[in-house]
């Protein structure tokens, strides 16, 4: 049974048909074609597929796609504004905070949710924000440093 699903993806209206009960990860990748979202465990335990739903980090592999009807989804594909990289992307590059790169999209979105909520995070805040995202390559230190750098680099909100 196919059902129609419509939501905002990175500030664009998108719509597709999917099997009822599909998860958001499959709908984004297979239905919409946003391949920036990666699947790592399909069990909700690794964080690789993290996207933002109405600003909150969600594991797209265990998020029912139909529950996202009418909501706003953000993925790493929408992170940069045109040619300009998001401060998190710049900081990840400068800190060499990716090796195989497979966890990076989810890690960036988890970090973005933090910085959107808390522009001046402590190291502890950063650890809390990314502790659900598994990275097997970096040992986490460069990622933590990059998120803290990005917070410092971003224009301060009043």
Partner 1 sequence: MLEMRKDIFADERADNLKEVGQPTQRQDMLGHVTGTSAYYDDHRFANLLHLKILRSPHAHARIRSIDDAAASRAPGVKRIIRAADVPVNLNTLLSLIQFGKDDEPSLATDVVRYKGEPILGVVATSERAAREALELVRISYDPLPAVFDVEEALKPGAVSVNPVYPKNTFEYHGKYDHQKLRFGAVEQAFAQADFVSEERYQMSPIEHAPTETNGSIAVPDTNGRFTVYTSTQALFFSLDTSAKINAMPSNQLHFIGGTVGGGFGGKVDTLTEPLAILAARLTGAPVRYRLSRHEEMQFGSPRGAERIYVKDGVMRDGRIVARQVRAYFDAGAYTRLSSYAVVKCVAHIPGPYTIPNVHADVFCVFTNRTPATAMRGFGVTALDFALECQMDKDAVAIGMDPLEFRLLNAYRDGDMKAHRREAKNCALIECAQVAAEKANWPLRDEFRKMSSKKDGGAERAGVADRTRMSTPAAPVRTGTSAPQRVTYERPAGSTSPPPIQSTPPATPPAGSTHGVRRFSSVFGTRRR
Partner 2 sequence: MARHRGRGVATINYPIGMNLGGDPSQALVHSNPTGKFTVALSSIDLGQGMKSVTRQICAETLGIPVEDVYVDTADSDTGPHCMGSFASRGTHRVGNAVMAAAREARAVMMEAAAEELEVDPGDLETDGRGSIHVKGAPHRAISVRDVAIAAQFRQGKTISGRGIFLVPLSDVNPETGEMSPATCYAHACQIVDLEVDDETGEVTVLKMTSAYELGRAINPKLVEQQLVGGSWMGMSHALFETPEPYYPDTREGPRDFNEYLMPGPGDICPHDIVVLERPAPDGPFGAKGPGEMCANPSLPAIANAIYDAVGVRIDELPITPEKVLRALKVRGRPEAPPRVR
What residue ranges bind partner 2 (CB under 8 A)? 41, 43, 45-46, 96, 99-102, 126-127, 130-131, 134, 136-144
Among residues 54, 69, 116, 128, the one that binds partner 1 under rule CB under 8 A: 128
CB of 149 to partner 1, least distance (A): 13
Enclosing H/E stretch for 105: helix 104-117
Output 70 or 126, the one with its CB closest to partner 1.
126
Output 72 or 125, the one with its CB closest to partner 2.
125
In the structure encoding, which two tokens stand for residue 65, read together? 């796609």
- Count of residues near partner 1 by CB under 8 A: 41
Rule CB under 8 A: say whether 81 interacts with partner 1: no
Q: Tell me which stretch binds partner 1 (CB under 8 A): 10-18, 112-120, 127-135, 147-155.
A: 127-135
Q: At what angle do helices 87-94 and 104-117 cross, to 10 degrees?
A: 130
Output 16 or 138, the one with its CB closest to partner 2.
138
Residue 143 partner contact from partner 1, partner 2, none using kind-dependent CB cut-offs of 5 to 8 Å: partner 2
Rule CB under 8 A: say whether 127 interacts with partner 1: yes
Residue 120 DSSP SS3: coil
Please give the residues from 31 up to 60 whose contact with partner 1 meets the rule CB under 8 A.
33, 35-43, 45-46, 48
d(Cα 75, Cα 108) in Å, to the nearest integer?
A: 9
Cα atoms in the Cβ-side hemisphere of radius 13 Å centred on 70 = 0
Distances 150 to 54, 63, 89, 105 between C-alpha atoms, Å: 22, 28, 8, 16
Q: How many helices (H) and strands (E) does the chain have?
A: 5, 5
């Amino acid at each position: 049974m196919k059902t129609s699903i419509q939501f905002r993806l990175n500030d664009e209206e998108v719509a597709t048909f999917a099997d009822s009960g599909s998860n958001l990860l499959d709908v984004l990748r297979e239905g919409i074609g946003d391949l920036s979202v990666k699947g790592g465990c399909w069990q909700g335990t690794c964080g690789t597929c993290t996207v933002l739903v109405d600003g909150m980090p969600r594991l797209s592999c265990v998020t029912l796609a139909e529950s996202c009807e009418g909501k706003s989804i953000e993925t790493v594909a929408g992170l940069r504004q045109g040619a300009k990289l998001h401060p998190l992307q710049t900081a990840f590059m400068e800190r060499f905070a990716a090796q195989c790169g497979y966890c990076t999209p989810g890690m960036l979105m988890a970090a973005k949710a933090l910085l959107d909520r808390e522009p001046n995070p402590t190291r502890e805040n950063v650890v809390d924000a990314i502790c659900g995202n598994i990275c097997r390559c970096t040992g986490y230190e460069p990622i933590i440093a990059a998120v803290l750098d990005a917070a410092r680099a971003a224009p301060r909100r009043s």
